[in-house]
Structure 1
Amino acid sequence: MPLLGILASAEPVAAQPIQTRETALLQDAGEYARAYGVSPTEAFRRLQVQHDSVAATDAISSRYRDRLAGISVQHRPDYRFIVYLTGSEPVPETRIKAGGTTAPVIFRTGAKASRDRVVWALTNHQAAIRTAARSYPSMGVDPRTGELVVIAGSAPVAAAGGAAALDAALEKLTSVPVQVRVLDRVDRNLALRGGGRLDGIDPASGKRFRCTSGFMVSDGQRAGITTAAHCLDDLTYLDPQRRPTPLSFIGQWGWGYHDLQIHGGPAPDRPLFYADTARTIERPVEAQRSKPGTRAGDFVCHRGESTGYSCAEVELLDFAPAGELCGGFCLPTWVAVAGPTCKQGDSGGPVFSGTTAFGIVKGATFRPDGSCAFYFYMSLDYLPAPWSLLIEKTRSPPTLANQARSRATRDFFR
């Protein structure tokens, strides 16, 4: 039976709650309040500032482009933005109007290199850094310190003469400030396990694997759902009642800066995704956050089929995962987010804050005990043309009758 027929014949189920931007932020604010020990009201205020301040920090980034080492969000002891600049010429503190309030912007000077220069050094010296580090380290840019961060295991760092010696050698090699972090870890794609369960059987091994669906996309003619390229091509979507719907494979992009697979289906009435562990709450996608507009310290959430819903801070930008996880070595285009929540099966899942979509989960770095050090995602900036994210359009609230009619089709896309 065609996919549309399968969906149309699905048994009706009760409509699930669909969040507004405000209720979505309230849910995330609960996680923020627990993480930083502030009241839910203050957490909600801060997340409103986070969302509404992007244009202002983008303007600061543009104005100080030649001097900019990084922009980051500080959460303790208060909420503020830190702008780190090269040179010694001071810039007075200012304030950003966002979220119905204001937030201070503090300018620090004395950075040794601009962000553009550090990114250039990372991009052009990856192979030499791997040779000097005697391993396949992960690398990224920390906007808080303006440094090129190299994360390597204790054994190769010791073989290179220790962290201080390796740090000095890499600074000489790249001509930018370097911070060597020692972390015994295993980097891997989050293998098979927007926010819904995808199952498949590997024809080579006969084993069943799992991934997570991401966001709805369109090429102008077809609708599709994203997941990670390293998931199986032949996948079945399982709704919250575990009813299966076979998916139709459209395409795969998995080299360098991509880890994306798209499966097709009928056009949805709304671009919704699950935003809770139990898959009982749906959110619309109302905006897309660009990679240049993402700041270290931004508080983002993800939903994975193995770990459910969780939130944490953006740690590193322009991140290159260790090893050959991108059909070879990865380019420094990924974004790393702090653990401790990631697991096999989360691959392809949505990364978001409120009703704003950030990216889809690719992989993670695990400590020797199996705990999650951090995960990394592909920005939606890298959706291949002509595919683009489906965004919620302004519309009247749906009637209960319309919700019931459309539920079977919508459910395919979680």
Structure 2
Amino acid sequence: MGSNRLWLLLLCALLTATPAVAQTVQTRGAALAQDAQEYARIYSVPLPEAIRRLSAQHDSVPAIDAIAERYRDRLAGISIQHRPDYRFIVYLTGNAPVSQRWVEAGGMRVPVQFRTGAKASRERVVWALTNHQAAIRAAVQSNPSMGVDPRTGELVVIAGSTAVAKAGGAAALDARLTELTGVPVQVRALDQVDRNLGPQGGGRLDGTDPASGKRYRCTSGFLVTDGARTGITTAAHCLDDLSYFDPQRRATPLSFVGQWGWGYHDVQIHAGPAPARPLFFADTARTIQRPVEGQRSKSSTRAGDFVCHRGESTGYSCAEVTLLDFAPAGELCGGFCLPTWVAVAGPTCKQGDSGGPVFSGTTALGIVKGATFRPDGSCAFYFYMSLDYLPTPWSLLVNIPR
């Protein structure tokens, strides 16, 4: 294998140590159809309906963003409803009613339903979460995870069942934290362990920890550029010295550029020659390469968005966005994390998925940081860093359709 081809495969991410197989570069339509198959399976709808809904999810972003901006002062949250029908729900403060409207997107006429009566705007809840984290941890006497649920307009606090019981139960703790923060709070009892997803568990970016001598692995993500160089992302908590192992198990050391892993960052970049196209593997078997044709910002991400991720331990899977402005439990960000992360429902996440791509169709959203695990080791949800937080001057490398 020539050096240019080797680097191309490396930078396309998520590469395998199994024998090489034929690889297909997906069209935008084929990428949509693959994700729609998962949607159809999960929501028990026909495949054509699933394709229409995911097309509507993508095409509706400008119109829903415009609604969010129009009602910014009253906005408590925006979510997507999948059952019993497909619609957008806009939750507003105050009691002044807003009539239902429709958005033309993806060949569908999707209802936009307005609900009123929220007790606080999203901006106010995010402010409260950001400024009262330490006080909330002290009140709960543990290190809970926290986030904003756009479906209910509440600050969600997820704590262990023992901590909740010691505080008098969820209802009593709801009332106490609501008084403390000045915004509605919902306490959820979940015996959990929040972890960064690596560096271990089956990735194809390998390195040896100089302190322990143990070999660890992570997952690579998207191609990025600083205008002069092309790089590949992974998680900052992975090892600095990583190598790519090709299908013949030949190691190619990567060129470490830098890592950003504090507060709202968990990204590391390795540089290499520019590839022909920005691609990533989007299937478990690593036979399908998907082009990156766009980026979705965190501000345009809604609760209920159906997104997919690809990890070396778990392969390809899709699920709903559950919480925005999420702050994981524990000191996973060089200290406690800021509420900037996005949480996505399980059950698919494992050690080794760290750094992997989160996407919808050919649109890139973020890179996996970590996950919340139940006591039995199952995945409750995972969380990712939005590509909004790529370090300056790095930006996502986007494929220009031919």
TM-score under structure 1 length normalisation: 0.92
Equivalence map 1:6-155=2 (5 Å) = 7=7, 16-155=23-162
- Equivalent residue in structure 2 for 1:376, among 360, 376, 383: 383
Q: Quick check: 89-98 or 232-241, which moved more?
A: 232-241
Q: Deviations over 1:97-135 (max 9, x none)?
A: 111221100000000000000000000000000000110
1:108–1:239 CA distance, 2 compared to 1 (3 A): farther
Q: Paired residue for 1:280? A: 287
User: Secondary structure of 1:45's partner?
Assistant: helix
Match of 2:232 among 210, 222, 225: 225
SS in 2 for 1:105: strand
Q: CA deviation at 1:394?
A: 3.2
Q: Percent identity?
A: 79
Residues 6, 164 of structure 1: CA spacing in aligned structure 2 closer, same or farther, 3 A cutoff? closer
Summarize the Cα distance change of 1:345–1:196 in structure 2 as closer, same or farther, 3 Å threshold: closer
Cα pair 2:203 2:352 within 8 Å, conserved: no
C-alpha displacement at 1:208, in angstroms?
Answer: 1.1
RMSD: 1.9
Change (3 A) 1:8 1:223: closer
| Residues 221 and 152 (structure 1), Cα distance of their counterparts in 2 relative to 1, 3 Å cut | same
Does residue 1:159 correspond to 2:145, yes or no? no
Whether the aligned pair in 2 keeps the contact of 1:196 and 1:238 (CA below 8 Å) is no
1:392 aligns with 2:399: yes
Q: CA deviation at 1:243?
A: 4.0
Q: CA deviation at 1:164?
A: 1.0
- How many angstroms does 1:238 deviate by? 2.7
Tell me the matched-pair count.
Answer: 392
Partner of 2:331: 324
Which residue in the other structure is 1:300 paired with? 307
Paired residue for 1:168?
175
Equivalent of 2:355 in 310, 323, 348: 348
Gap runs ≥5 in structure 2: 11-19
1:169-197 deviation digits (Å, cap 9, x = unpaired): 0000001000000000100100114x972
1:178 equivalenced with 2:185 (yes/no): yes
Partners of 1:218 and 1:279 in 2: how far apart? 24
Matched residues in 1 for 2:217 and 2:315: separation?
Answer: 14
Q: Structure 1's 259 and 39: CA in aligned 2 closer, same or farther, altered over 3 A?
A: same
Relative distance call for 1:8 and 1:159 in structure 2 (3 A) is: closer
TM-score w.r.t. the length of structure 2 is: 0.94
CA distance in 2, matches of 1:197, 1:316: 29
Distance 1:93 1:9, change over 3 A: closer
Equivalent position SS for 1:277: coil
- Which amino acid in 1 is paired with 2:316? Y
Which of 248, 257, 265 does residue 250 from structure 1 map onto?
A: 257
Q: Which residue of 2 aligns with 1:411?
A: none
Partners of 1:241 and 1:165 in 2: CA distance: 59
Give the residue type in structure 2 aligned to 1:43: A
Q: Which residue of 1 aligns with 2:266?
A: 259
The amino acid across from 1:354 in the alignment is G
